[in-house]
Amino acid sequence: MTRAYPDRFYPVVDSIRTLMDLAALGVGTIQLRVKDLGEAQAAALVGEAVESVQGSPVRLVINDYWRAAIVGGASHLHLGQEDLATADVPAIRAAGLTLGISTHDEAELETALAHRPDYIALGPIYPTTIKPMRFGPQGLDRIGVWKKRIGAIPLVAIGGITLERAPSVYAAGADSIAVVSDIANADDPDTRVREWLALEPAGD
């Protein structure tokens, strides 16, 4: 059975060390998101990240640094709306990268769909303190609305989602949940990751 992309549990991390730790625990899809790097720094980071998961089943998703992702031989890319506006999407596609796109409102969803993304992300579902947000919490109902709009395209929910909230988020229509603080702030991150993985239905 072919694994869905992205996996239902989709952690977002900010270091190679954490990336490797999660890969060792059996996580299938992991996004590396490190902000405010120069072009040379981004290229070095992406190259190291790609090498760190080479030969493993991990689908490594690079956040924003599309040029570095192409040069570094990455396979998966995630873009926010600001980066999407300046990215060379034909070059990204020509390099064979998948493309996931963040959305927060109807206009952004239309923009994202015009690029035929491999998944759509919606957030924040709940209040989050990870970064300043221009948009308020979307809520569970919006997940269902987005899923009806995008059909077979996978929908990734992100923002303030804990393990305890996850069943409701999946039930609302999310195909995948991107997780940041629920792992990073856990007393025992490894145990928390295993609990997330155990939440996945058999066969996924």
Cα 86 to Cα 56: distance, rounded to the nearest angstrom: 32
4 within some domain:
no
2 within some domain:
no
CATH code: domain of residue 102: 3.20.20.70
Cα 109 to Cα 96: distance, rounded to the nearest angstrom: 23
Predicted pLDDT of residue 200: 61
Q: What is the DSSP letter of 2?
A: P
Burial call 49-76: b when 16+ CB within 10 Å, e when fewer:
bbebbeeeebbbbbbbbbbbbbebebeb
Q: Total structural domains in the chain?
A: 1
178 within some domain:
yes
- According to DSSP, the residues that pair with 67 across neighbouring strands are none
| Predicted model pTM | 0.94
Query: What is the mean pLDDT of each successive set of 10 residues along the chain, which is 204 residues long?
Result: 91 97 97 96 98 96 98 98 97 98 97 98 87 76 97 97 97 97 96 93 42
15 within some domain:
yes
Predicted pLDDT of residue 136: 77
104 within some domain:
yes
Predicted pLDDT of residue 118: 98
